[in-house]
Structure 1
Amino acid sequence: MTGFIIRKFIKDYENVKDINVRQSYGTVSSIVGILVNVLLSFSKITIGAIFNSISVMADGVNNLSDAGSSIISLVGFKMSGKPADKDHPFGHARIEYVTGLVLGIVILLVGIELIRSSLNKIMNPEKTMYSAAMIVVLVISIAAKFWLSGFYGKIANKISSATIKASSMDSRNDVVSTFVVLVSVIISKISGYEIDGYMGIVVALFILYSGVDILKDILNPILGEMPEYDFIQSIENKILGYEGIINIHDLVVHNYGPNRYFATVHAEVDAKEDILKLHDLIDNIERDFAKDLDINLVIHMDPVITDDDEINMLKCKTGEIIKSIDEKLTMHDFRVVKGDTHTNLIFDVLIPVDYAVQSSELVRIIENKIKKENETYYAVVTIDKNYVSTYMNNPYRK
């Protein structure tokens, strides 16, 4: 069914990097969500009102909020597809994150209101009537929500959408909450015990859990999360695959919405090579990234000396000292400046963003260890932070 809907309503559906195709995926998923949830909501609220079941009505209200969330997603996809303008030079794709945030907040508010209604039912109990129609509606709802969760999940993976992934998670939780309501209806019908209000609270708690889970997933890209390891590894491998690139470091990746990446990196090249040839190499890499990965990459070129035995020896020795302090540390941009009375060893040290040791203390430790090797060596250290999810960019890896 999912494949049929995609093929029927989305032109050029395989070209997911195209902004118009991606917007079509978002539009189709939102419309399907609206239709399914409105039908389920109408059925449950009607049945719940007829037979005086707060848990069934609560489940119906939850579906109504899902339909509202799909409307928000629809508007968000339309707005996020707007091209860049003078006030938003990186485009509007982050609006999709904002709509996901609104979706999570709406779900939390619905959960809180349903807890209030359920508590009122417990404190002021009214007899609930049960029927086969109620059970049939709940079973159909479970099947529909199970399919909708899979439908959302496939599209979310296809276009890397945090908002649609949130909808998939919400639908998955709805399957559980509706199943709980179904079980409560059957138990009450068989045993005669009135547990409707309590089951309403259980449903509301599932809704609140879903809302918190969605907010956590949405807030991460808004705040600026660490890029995935495989993604960073693919960038590093691609750059290092070009002949003439010795090593890379200081890779930083910025996310301006799903599949909207801007990146900067330092690339080490042989200082003996012709500068115009190296500049052409860098230009080619940047163009290839724009064409192949749709990443706006800016490369800073770092010329390094590779054929000086003394510099290579000092570089290797300094790298060993850094590793002896902590295996997580790496070094780059190593240079040597000799003087009459001392020699400056100039280099950068890369640390994790959550490194426990203060930068000033780390510099002091490095300076002292290098000084112990030779009194005439002075370390000039710059501390850099690692903003990507791998320590692969290590000049000393084999």
Structure 2
Amino acid sequence: MKQNNQKLNQQIDNNLLEKSRITEFFLRLLIKNNHDIQETQLRSAVGKLSGLVGIVCNLLLAGSKFVVGILAASVSITADALNNLSDAASSIVTLVGFKLAEKPADADHPYGHARFEYLSGLGVAVMIILIGFELAKSSVGKILNPTAVEFSIVTACVLLGSILVKMCLFLFNRKMGKMIHSTALLATAEDSRNDVITTSAVLVAAVVEYFTTWQIDGFMGLAVALFILYSGVNLAKETISPLLGEGANPELQEQITEYITSCPKVLGCHDLMVHDYGPGQRFASIHVEMDKDENALVCHELIDNMERECYKSYGVHLVIHYDPVVTNNPEIERLYHLVTAILKVKDERMSIHDFRMVPGEEHTNLIFDVAFPTELRGQENTIKSALEKALNDLGEGTYYTVITFDPTSFH
């Protein structure tokens, strides 16, 4: 535990905003007992810091743009001020989301409340979509009833300052989001990037209208609104995905399977399933194959060690199902490799496990699971029939297959 805490402290020191001392100071201020930092505390502190910074910056930007937008009679500047006001609300949602996510498990929610972080990301995406609709409505009104935009040095300074602040917020939230792998903070970063584009478009419209007779303020506002709507919908999809139960991260999947297969007495593993209840609350199950002749107590101890190591190294509560495998039957070995070879002719990605043979007087049953690509779903009967035909065409006897098909998304 002490080593893990030292790693987390080192992570704060080395990864945040290129060793920003200010960021490090605020993070340590938000984390109580910072000499014993836990992963959940780090996530919560990072989320709160991002929320507080976003609230302050966006309120200042919204106030200055409202004043300039009214004085300049610019719908795009006023709409941009509303956008910043919604961003402040989004930051409040992020702040509340991370605060609720750190609540411990209780009787009603035994897996904790970490999914509140996903919900806060979804809330940010919804607010982006709503502001996009409002901006589109205002822009259409400006197109139908154009009015001149009053441009000034003050207007230009406010807009340029806004672009600079939003670019810093984008880099800040993206760095934070990548550091703790947070969809909520990455959504906030995308929102800040959108604001850079939005405000740049507003500035271009104001300059063009000032130096020409073209009244493009409404058209520019509409173009920006469409971009915001597109971005909001994409963000909503990304934040909804983990709530619906998306597949395991391929990198995490590979790390777990590589570790399991490297352990003593393990012959293979399969059926890895990861259930995500929010950051830091991942539960998984996997089948591990070991020789049936191994001592059961020894195997049980090894499995316990693997489960503990997976939680320590990958933050995953792993449950391992023990699969005893027959390793001293030459006929089973021969048929196992024969079936594998036939299936790989159909698709190289297919593999088998839990292979058993039940001989009979007139036919032999081969019972096993097939791991196959998800795009082959619907072809199970075809694969089974082709496999039985290939086996029986060898003239070695009659074989029936009893197959359980498992999509490779669980492997």
TM-score category of the 2 structures, normalised to the smaller one: over 0.9
1:378 aligns with 2:400: yes
For residues 211-250 of structure 1, what are the alpha-carbon distances to aligned partners after superposition, in whole Å with 9 as ceiling and x for unaligned? 1121121111112223232221111111111111110011
1:226 aligns with 2:247: yes
Rounded Cα–Cα distance in structure 2 between residues aligned with 1:129 and 1:172? 26
More displaced 10-residue stretch of structure 1: 237-246 or 98-107: 98-107
Match of 1:174 in 2: 195
1:326 aligns with 2:326: no
Contact preservation (8 Å) 2:149, 2:206? no
Rounded Cα–Cα distance in structure 2 between residues aligned with 1:5 and 1:30? 16
More displaced 10-residue stretch of structure 1: 234-243 or 1-10: 1-10
Q: What TM-score do you get using the length of structure 2 for normalisation?
A: 0.90
| RMSD value, Cα | 1.8
Rounded Cα–Cα distance in structure 2 between residues aligned with 1:305 and 1:375? 22
Amino acid at match of 2:397: E
1:15 deviates by 8.2
Rounded Cα–Cα distance in structure 1 between residues aligned with 2:54 and 2:218? 28
Match of 2:123 in 1: 102
Amino acid at match of 1:200: G
Match of 2:269 in 1: 248
Amino acid at match of 2:64: S
Match of 1:396 in 2: none
Amino acid at match of 2:354: D
1:132 deviates by 0.6
Gaps of 5+ in 1: 394-398
Pair 1:16–1:232, CA change in 2 (3 A)? farther
Q: How does 1:57-68 map to 2 (within 5 A)?
A: 57-68=78-89
Contact preservation (8 Å) 2:339, 2:387? no
Match of 2:21 in 1: 4
Match of 2:3 in 1: none
Contact preservation (8 Å) 2:40, 2:280? no
Rounded Cα–Cα distance in structure 2 between residues aligned with 1:89 and 1:60? 42
Match of 1:118 in 2: 139
1:353 deviates by 3.0
For residues 297-336 of structure 1, what are the alpha-carbon distances to aligned partners after superposition, in whole Å with 9 as ceiling and x for unaligned? 0111111122322221111111111112222321111112
For residues 181-224 of structure 1, what are the alpha-carbon distances to aligned partners after superposition, in whole Å with 9 as ceiling and x for unaligned? 11111111111322211122122122212211211211111122
1:70 aligns with 2:91: yes
Amino acid at match of 1:87: D
1:189 aligns with 2:206: no
Contact preservation (8 Å) 1:254, 1:263? yes
Rounded Cα–Cα distance in structure 1 between residues aligned with 2:116 and 2:387? 45
For residues 89-116 of structure 1, what are the alpha-carbon distances to aligned partners after superposition, in whole Å with 9 as ceiling and x for unaligned? 1111111111211221121111111111
Contact preservation (8 Å) 1:336, 1:345? yes
Rounded Cα–Cα distance in structure 1 between residues aligned with 2:399 and 2:161? 77
Contact preservation (8 Å) 1:370, 1:379? no
More displaced 10-residue stretch of structure 1: 28-37 or 183-192: 183-192
Greater share of residues in helix: 2
Pair 1:113–1:77, CA change in 2 (3 A)? same
Contact preservation (8 Å) 2:202, 2:220? yes
Rounded Cα–Cα distance in structure 2 between residues aligned with 1:255 and 1:157? 18
Pair 1:16–1:188, CA change in 2 (3 A)? farther
Rounded Cα–Cα distance in structure 1 between residues aligned with 2:286 and 2:65? 55
Rounded Cα–Cα distance in structure 1 between residues aligned with 2:37 and 2:358? 51
1:361 deviates by 3.3
Gaps of 5+ in 2: 1-15
Following TM superposition, where does structure 1 have runs of at least 4 consecutive aligned residues deviating by more than 4 angstroms? 12-17
Contact preservation (8 Å) 1:101, 1:215? yes
Rounded Cα–Cα distance in structure 2 between residues aligned with 1:157 and 1:253? 21
Contact preservation (8 Å) 1:337, 1:345? yes
Rounded Cα–Cα distance in structure 1 between residues aligned with 2:358 and 2:142? 80
Rounded Cα–Cα distance in structure 1 between residues aligned with 2:152 and 2:96? 39
Q: How does 1:134-213 map to 2 (within 5 A)?
A: 134-213=155-234
Amino acid at match of 2:230: Y
Match of 1:303 in 2: 324
Rounded Cα–Cα distance in structure 2 between residues aligned with 1:276 and 1:192? 86
Match of 2:381 in 1: 360
Q: Aligned to 1:245, what secondary structure does the other structure show?
A: coil
Amino acid at match of 2:268: N
Q: How does 1:261-300 map to 2 (within 5 A)?
A: 261-300=282-321
1:56 aligns with 2:73: no
Rounded Cα–Cα distance in structure 2 between residues aligned with 1:110 and 1:99? 17
Pair 1:14–1:103, CA change in 2 (3 A)? farther
Rounded Cα–Cα distance in structure 1 between residues aligned with 2:244 and 2:382? 29
Q: Aligned to 2:70, what secondary structure does the other structure show?
A: helix
Q: Aligned to 2:133, what secondary structure does the other structure show?
A: helix
Rounded Cα–Cα distance in structure 1 between residues aligned with 2:44 and 2:173? 14
Rounded Cα–Cα distance in structure 1 between residues aligned with 2:43 and 2:136? 37
Match of 1:312 in 2: 333
